[in-house]
Structure 1
Amino acid sequence: MRFSRVFFCLSLVLVLGSLAAAGTTHNRQKRTIGGQEFERGRWPWLALLRATIVTERLFGFLPIRHYHLYCGGVLLNRRWILTAAHCFTEDGSGGAQPGNWEARLGTVSLRSSPGEHFLNIVGQLLDDNNLRQWEIGIDRIVLHPGYNSSNLFSDDVALIRLSEPAPHSSRVQPISLPSPLVANFPRVGQMCTTKGWGCTTNGGSVVSRAREVQLPIYSPQLCSLHFAMTNSNKRLCAGYRNRNIGVCNGDSGSPLVCMSGSQYTLAGIVSFASRHRPESFPAVFTRVQAYLPWINSIVNTL
């Protein structure tokens, strides 16, 4: 009986997989602001952070109205995710409460489809983490003590702790952090990749499937002029001028990764872009290398 159930589940998985592949082929060329969709597992450290903020309760306790906040993040190890501090401060007290947030790992979907829900059940039956959908609560939010939204989001970095360890899976893996000893990482002109659920057009909403975009590291001197920015040694700029390419609303906290040697390495975290023309200016990222001592002090002690 158990063998029959497992065989039936596997058969359905194969059918759904074939249908999904057939249905998404034409979508791979859909563009964000210069980007494109990618397959699940391509960037196994990418995390979707979602907060559910209740705005109205029936009888004072039963939620009947709510809205969502979204940010990206990057998995550092099985318990910690790195993201942007402003994700938790720009929407009142609700965004600052860990219990309102959860992390989705190993996915490219903003919300699980019926097929993904089914695969999650099959993954539990077969004890196969690669089929599972992982939605894990947050039990701690740690903002950098120097964060200041009034100073162009200076020290815009935060760590969040998962309420339970992330799984062992080929689709859920931590990112490599940069070495503090490498002085020229990333170098100006180097092509790097950021990805997230940001809008596809200026003023749009988050998208249903994550997208990636390749951006060159931009001159820090020119970027500082564009944004009247100080302390550029703790920031990175990546992108173009007037190329219709860039990050957008909803990409906050998402990782910028660059090749270092033979592996992708975390270089930056999306902080902000031009408010009115994000597709026409480079984006500003928090330079992760500048925060390694702070990251290690939190991750290794809490």
Structure 2
Amino acid sequence: GPDQNYVGDIAILVTTKTFTISQRVQPVCVDWGSNSVNELSNLSSSSYGYVTGWGFTSENANPSEELKELRVPLITYDQCSQNLPEDYEIYLTYDKFCAGYLDKGVGICKGDTGSGLVLKHKDRYYITGIVSLSPGTPTGGCDSQQYGLYTSVDKYKEEFILDKVSRFKPEGTGMDR
């Protein structure tokens, strides 16, 4: 949380039931290092990801009733730190990166936290970030004129994700490295 600057803002949900894959429910891949997604996610100015969520669509609105998708550019650390509001610089920790737009009026908002940011590579989607937080307005709303901060999945895939997932790997699913 905010007391820890949102370091480690990541979780894994383990269920006892299986999901039925459909047009609305799709798996996302984790890049274990063999698919060149790491090269794509080196946050070059030409890298774009997709974030989806049920969050608020304007400051005084209710959460969205339909899943929204936004294509966002990945932002370099230097560009992000130069443009983040001063009171949000403390949240740009070693495990965060920025994505989104400045002054475009679109971005992540309340209700989107925990959503994934994915990169598409060779017709597959790879989880790259988890929505962590974004700057707010003086009235407590979302500032859609600012970058959003995302927890980097890459920073946690070996010591956290692989460790947790390997404990619950269902038999016969083909889940392997």
Q: By the TM > 0.5 criterion, same fold?
A: yes
SS of the residue aligned with 2:97?
A: strand
Letter in 1 for 2:167: T
% identical equivalent positions: 24
Contact 2:6 2:91 in 1 (8 A): no
Aligned match of 2:108 in 247, 265, 289? 247
| C-alpha spacing 1:172/1:295, structure 2 compared with 1 (3 Å) | same
| C-alpha spacing 1:269/1:201, structure 2 compared with 1 (3 Å) | same
- Equivalence map 1:60-71=2 (5 Å): none
Q: CA deviation at 1:176?
A: 0.8
Aligned match of 1:273 in 134, 143, 154? 134
| C-alpha spacing 1:164/1:281, structure 2 compared with 1 (3 Å) | same
Contact 1:203 1:249 in 2 (8 A): no
Q: Which has the higher helix share?
A: 1
Aligned residue pairs: how many? 155
What is aligned with 2:117?
256
Aligned-residue Cα RMSD (Å) equals 2.1
SS of the residue aligned with 1:271?
A: strand
Cα distance in 1 for residues equivalent to 2:91 and 2:39: 19
Q: CA deviation at 1:260?
A: 2.6
What is aligned with 2:174?
none
Q: CA deviation at 1:245?
A: 1.3
Unaligned runs of 5+ in 1: 1-147
Q: Which has the higher strand share?
A: 1
What is aligned with 2:172?
none
| C-alpha spacing 1:290/1:180, structure 2 compared with 1 (3 Å) | farther
Q: CA deviation at 1:171?
A: 4.1
Is residue 2:20 matched to residue 1:167? yes
Cα distance in 1 for residues equivalent to 2:136 and 2:99: 16
| C-alpha spacing 1:168/1:251, structure 2 compared with 1 (3 Å) | closer
Letter in 2 for 1:184: E
- Equivalence map 1:209-228=2 (5 Å): 209-225=66-82, 226=84, 227-228=88-89
- Give CA-to-partner distance per residue, 1:124-155, whole Å, 9 cap, x none: xxxxxxxxxxxxxxxxxxxxxxxx43132111
What is aligned with 1:298?
164
Cα distance in 1 for residues equivalent to 2:115 and 2:143: 15
SS of the residue aligned with 2:167?
A: coil
Contact 1:241 1:282 in 2 (8 A): yes
